[in-house]
Amino acid sequence: MKKFLLASTLLVSSVGMSQMIEDFEGVTAPGLPTGWTQVTAATDGGYATTSDISSQYFVVPAHTQYIGTNDDVCNCDKSNEKLISEAVAIPATGADLIQFEYSLGMYYGEFANFGISTDGGTTVTDLGLLATTRVGSTSDHDWATASFSLAGYAGQTVNFVWTYDDNGDWGSGLALDDIEMIAIAAVDMEMTAVTNVPTVVAGNVTIEGTVTNLGSGVVSSYEVTWDDGSGAQSDVITAGTPLNYGDSENFSHAIPLNAVAGNTYNLAVTVIVAGDADNANDVINTTISAVSSVPNKVTVGEEKTGEWCGWCPRGGVALAEMELSNPDDFIGIAVHNGDGMTVAAYDGNIGTYIPGGYPGGGVDRMVSGNPADFATMHAQRVSMVAPAAVGVDYSYDGTNVTVTVQADFVGGLSGDYRLAAVLTEDNVAGAGQANYYNDGGAGPMAMPNTGSMANFDFVGGGSTVTPYYHDHTARALGGNEINGVAGSLPASISAGDYLTYEYTIPQDAAWDMANVHAVGMLVNGSTGEILNAGGEPLASINEVEVNNFNVIAAPNPTSGLSNLIIDLEVAADVAISVKNVLGQEVFVSNTDQLAAGSYSTAVDLSNQTSGVYFAQVTVNGQVQIVKINVAK
């Protein structure tokens, strides 16, 4: 059993009694509560009580009356700006935590922390930093809950201190509300997470997860059980390091699940300690499905970019390099911000999964970092077992693009899973790409021998590259939803299910449809994780009208055997290829030149799984594509 100790400083409180210190409801705005003070050099007076602190780049949801400081409006000196509470007597017993609501931005190095003073605010012991509540890359900010232990201060009189520091730059601000002391239970263990992926290869599967001590007592050992309905399997685990309040630990259960191919297991994973005061947080229910076959795993690499961003050329280079090195298991998407290629719903939500500045990169919305590290991020995800093969079919008529995302499941899923679609376009002419690599001071940066800017060297390319042609450019989201439309898949899915969802996307006249691609994704709607993906199944070949031959498939649907009936108006060379939704060839027939007339070719798909297959018939270089539905 391998264990890891995880430190945690910000936690929601456990069960217990609370004592409100300040909710700011009785304070006359914009003054401070009685007995509260502050230290500030700001020209706007610093902290103030208010019911609306929002500004253009610091948008805070309504929260009745609260206290805050706004650097976005002031853009003045808010370095080391302290808000100091009145003196608070901490009881000798029954006050284990301080908890409060807050909203905090994060732009150019600004930060905020919480501390305690025992000498009226002269000296402060910092207890921890506050995490940003900024929503993605937008100016919107949520409210969050922070909790800190009061261990060591029982029976003392203290002042609570909040420090906001704008790092000498333009920032957003800090808002606070509902400050209270909490008495927590002596014993309260939480099953925080079960980290097993939902789809596994058949065999012994180790049940893994994370537990957290939310009680005031120290936990040296705990019991974990898992039960698939056939009886609880128990393992008593000795903590790698004794767990104090807020400490988390990863566990590996000693008894594996023997997963049989084709079976889906509904597990209840439970943490047990004697005297636990809150059993509601002890158990997590999860589903593990053992696959009968392993589909090709395709990762999705998303790059946050914009023409205004002078460092973003390295993201474009990285996507081009991945397209060259991993054409079969990586799909790249460039998500633009602040330029003419911005898709608002995509740009406004991608920051949830790829935090931080520009350029930014992430794979499958699970790992993120420098887009130059796409290869490393891809390697972390590509070996995962996907629950389904994913493909996509699309057509367009000048008004709409119809995208059908297809998923052929080899394992079961239960919960909020969705099929999502993205349209991308290559060779998009921009207004000019900012380029900080121009003088060579940041090192080499050049495109590989692929794409619309093949072999372009950014060193010496000008501080603004014009003209510049963007590849992998996100153009539209199916349903305008980054994770796909809720309900696009049923809540319960079984191995062997073949499911599709169709999106109708308005076609923009500015798009060059010869360069547009459709991407389909299987997404966890709750977390955003992309479990698998696929591009258009026939390598960007669109259906075209032809005048000298016609093709039909009969019977269609079929249980396995179908006939392609080809009517030729003129003599021609004929070739037939049938592919699955992954673009893998499952049938091929090459025929010598045929005279004009009608011909029938038998296509045997009886050894293939249920799903949609694409018969590509090539006649004298012209192509028609016919879908064959296999239903067993």
C-alpha–C-alpha distance, residues 351 and 203, integer Å = 38
pLDDT tens for 419-469 read: 999 999 999 999 999 999 999 999 999 999 999 999 999 999 999 999 999
C-alpha–C-alpha distance, residues 281 and 357, integer Å = 36
Q: Are 170 and 75 in contact (CB under 8 A)?
A: yes
The pairs formed by 2-6 with CB atoms below 8 angstroms and a separation of 24 or more are 2/250, 2/252, 3/237, 3/239, 3/240, 3/249, 3/250, 3/251, 3/252, 4/240, 4/249, 4/250, 5/240, 5/241, 5/243, 5/247, 5/248, 5/249, 6/210, 6/247, 6/248, 6/249, 6/250
pLDDT at residue 136, rounded to an integer: 66
Q: Which of the four pLDDT bands, split at 50, 70 and 90, describes residue 299?
A: very high
Mean pLDDT value across the chain: 89
pLDDT at residue 572, rounded to an integer: 84
Q: Are 185 and 200 in contact (CB under 8 A)?
A: no
H/E segment holding residue 504 = strand 498-506
One-character DSSP codes across 324-353? HH-TTTEEEEEEE-SSTT--HHHHHHHTTT
H/E segment holding residue 27 = none
* Two structure tokens written together for 582: 């992954």
Complete domains list, the chain, with CATH: 18-182 (2.60.120.200), 187-291 (2.60.40.10), 299-535 (no CATH), 549-630 (2.60.40.1930)
pLDDT at residue 541, rounded to an integer: 36
Q: Are 282 and 275 in contact (CB under 8 A)?
A: no
* Two structure tokens written together for 504: 């109708």
Q: Say which residue the tokens 């796409």 belong to.
A: 374
Strand, coil or helix: 587: strand
Instruction: Name the DSSP class of 366.
Output: T
Strand, coil or helix: 317: helix
Q: Which of the four pLDDT bands, split at 50, 70 and 90, describes residue 17?
A: low
C-alpha–C-alpha distance, residues 205 and 192, integer Å = 20
Q: Which of the four pLDDT bands, split at 50, 70 and 90, describes residue 582?
A: low
Q: Are 319 and 374 in contact (CB under 8 A)?
A: yes
The mean pLDDT value for 266-294 works out to 93
